[in-house]
Structure 1
Amino acid sequence: MDIDHKSMEAAGKAIHDDGGEFARAIIQDRSNVETLRVYLGEDEAALIFRRGKDGHPGYDAAQKDLDTALDNLSKSYEAIGAAVTAMSKNVKAADWANMVDKNAFVHGLVEFGKQQPKDIPVPTTPVELA
């Protein structure tokens, strides 16, 4: 499988980073919207708008749901980016394993590296000095 791992890992990091940037932007936007709350007032219409009525959710419930959805979206970007990077690393490992299986010389070296140290035979024949 031909994959440009450098490009794939860079894309994964960029997607992950986009999630962080998205989260920071949402925090700022949420703060901007929150400043408008003081203009809603405290009369009956404003309270119905914010709290809802007769089983219908109001602004506060919708805002909470939106906050949860945006938080999940931000985390999704980060998780997808991490998954793309992990996928590249997994393919690299699979490519290495495939290459080892197909190349007898490399396979032999890997198997040799797995061996446990063995005793080195030493001749025990007595030697006479002349």
Structure 2
Amino acid sequence: MDIDHSSMQGNGRAIHTEGGEFGRTAGRLHAQMEPLLPYFGNPESDEAAQIFRRGKDGHPGFDGAYEDMSTALRNLRESYEVIGAAVVAMSKNVRGAEWASMADKNGVLKDLLEFARREDDEVGVPTTPVERDR
């Protein structure tokens, strides 16, 4: 399988970043909308505002839709961030699997790994004296 890991990791980081940018944009829009809510009427004292804001006869009102939209925007932002992180992790996992697969097929690497796994065996150390040039 040919995978361009640097591209995959770069794209994963970009997706994650876009989630953050999306979240900031949605946050600014939310902050601009919040001060307007009182102008939609007081549902405690105005029947028309109560119907508009809370709904009637099983029909949702503005407040419920606004809350649902806020939740959906937050979930979308979080999804971008999680998907971006998952793409980066997937690239790292595939790279690790490719290396492990290559190590099993390459005799020199296999021997090197076996050598690295050895425990408490004698390793030859040179005993010839060495003189430094002055």
TM-score class, shorter: 0.7 to 0.9
Partner of residue 95 from structure 2, selected from 88, 92, 95: 92
Partner of residue 118 from structure 2, selected from 100, 115, 118: 115
TM-score with structure 1 length normalisation?
0.86
Partner of residue 109 from structure 2, selected from 91, 106, 111: 106
Partner of residue 63 from structure 2, selected from 50, 60, 63: 60
Partner of residue 48 from structure 1, selected from 45, 48, 51: 51
Corresponding position of 1:72: 75
Alpha-carbon distance in 2 for matches of 1:36, 1:44: 19
Summarize the Cα distance change of 1:90–1:120 in structure 2 as closer, same or farther, 3 Å threshold. closer
Shift of 1:115: 1.2
Corresponding position of 2:21: 21
Alpha-carbon distance in 2 for matches of 1:120, 1:44: 90
Shift of 1:21: 0.8
Alpha-carbon distance in 2 for matches of 1:56, 1:6: 50
Q: CA RMSD in A?
A: 1.6
Summarize the Cα distance change of 1:7–1:46 in structure 2 as closer, same or farther, 3 Å threshold. same
Corresponding position of 1:7: 7
Unaligned runs of 5+ in 1: 122-130
Q: Which of structures 1 and 2 has the larger relative contact order (alpha carbons within 8 angstroms, sep 6+)?
A: 1
Shift of 1:104: 0.1
Unaligned runs of 5+ in 2: 125-134
Identity across matched positions, percent: 55
